[in-house]
Chains A and B, each alone.
Chain A
Amino acid sequence: MRIYRIRKFPTVLFLLVLAVIIIAFNSKILPYLRGPAFGIMTKPFSALKGVKAYFARPGYSEENLRLKQHIGALSVTLARMKEISRENERLRDILDFKKNLPYTVITARVIARNPTDWRKAIIINKGKRHGVIKGMPCATAKGLIGSVEEASGDSSKIMLITDPNSKIGVLLENSRESGLLTGSPRGECKIIYLPLESKIQKGEKVVTAGFGQAAPKGLAIGKIAAIGVENSNLYKYAIVEPMEDMSKVEEVLCIDAGE
């Protein structure tokens, strides 16, 4: 038993020291480890999307459907048509939005989502090779959803506006008040540091303020859903309902807003 303890203890200790080293030398190890590993690990997700796309080809599906019973075939076709129609609608919206934007945009598909519940991120199938770089704002046809946090060769990680660490300068469209939009683990957005005398109203549209590189000015973010006063009684806050349902985002536009 004593030998067993001596044999096993160093393994656990070694692994523990390894984990601590990883955390301690995070910034030095990160570029060499996380980027390439992220690139490799996203390959199966992209492949899965590819397989899905292959089976969704109209010719292939129709050929198979002819072999099935008439009612079954009709219902499957109907379901597929509905899905294609919905996708078509989304892509048309994105195309319109893309046309109206005075910036270069990169269209990407969502291939995976952040596996932790308190951080809000999505993984897309475009990376450095396609021109995606860290800090790029990302949107859908409805409005801003986040910014690129990490880009590898063929995939990127987007930090959503609902993430607790996301901070974006925003402007309220009617009252012209500006504030700082931050996310929360609950997945809601909140504007903090609003002056007590500000005359903001429920339902008012929130747009990007265009401060720094985060996003071009005027991109829609959401609408004010609730207003309150902070416990300190120094500022007001506003809960924002995002324009886009983050759990349903499937296509993303990465905006190259330039300098």
Chain B
Amino acid sequence: MRANSRLKIYTVILILFFLEAALIGRLRIHGASPGLLLIAVIFFGFHFGRARGAEAGLIAGILKDIFSLTNFGVNAFSFLLVGALAGYLRKKLARENFVTEFFISAAAVYLTSSVSFLDLSRLAGETALEGFWAIIFYKSLYTAFAAAPIFFVLGKIFGPKETPRI
């Protein structure tokens, strides 16, 4: 992958992170907001393969970890998994379209949230976790619907998919 593409990936991650921290938090529906960074990580996995997907996931997750109250590394780990899995799936999927983007984004929300749930249940206990999965349901829907436009914009920025070097 060219250094130019890597720079573009990091710039996109930073912009989306600032959007999430400064703006998106105010647009919550049923306590949930769309996971813009998560969608971007899936896109990078699909577009550049599992190594770059994992790398983008790790960076995006660390940024989230810096600002959130979770144990440091929890988001980094779960986002890395999502990036790597998206990279793995890019060759397995028959075709990439709105439907696959929708379902994979929703599934990714459940994957990252499950890791966070384990971390949070260790800290806060069962009583404090009431309503967690209800929020995740709305978050997965919100993220899934936001996936198509973000994939479209990122597709315009990054151009056609990179083919793996053999």
- Interface residues, chain A, CB within 8 Å of chain B? 1, 3-4, 7-8, 11-12, 15-16, 18-20, 22-23, 26, 29-30, 33-34, 37-38, 41, 44-45, 48, 111-119, 121, 123, 149, 157, 159, 163-165, 182-188, 190, 192, 247
Contact = CB atoms under 8 A, between A and B. Distances in A.
Q: Chain B CB within 10 Å — which of A8, A111, A121 has the most? A: A8
B144 interface: no
Interface centre among A1, A18, A115 (most CB of B within 10 A): A115
Contacts of A111: 22
A74 to B, nearest CB: 28
Given A19-B76, A113-B22, A116-B116, A123 B67 contact: yes
B69 A16 contact: no
A49 to B, nearest CB: 10
Contacts of A22: 62, 72-73, 76-77
Contacts of B75: 116
Given A164-B120, A188-B131, 10 more contacts: A12-B54, A41-B63, A41-B66, A113-B22, A114-B21, A115-B68, A116-B75, A119-B68, A159-B69, A247-B26
Contacts of A123: 21, 67
20 contacts: A12-B51, A12-B54, A12-B87, A15-B55, A18-B58, A26-B73, A34-B72, A38-B66, A41-B66, A112-B22, A116-B69, A117-B139, A118-B116, A118-B132, A119-B70, A182-B128, A183-B128, A184-B130, A188-B131, A247-B28
B165 A4 contact: yes
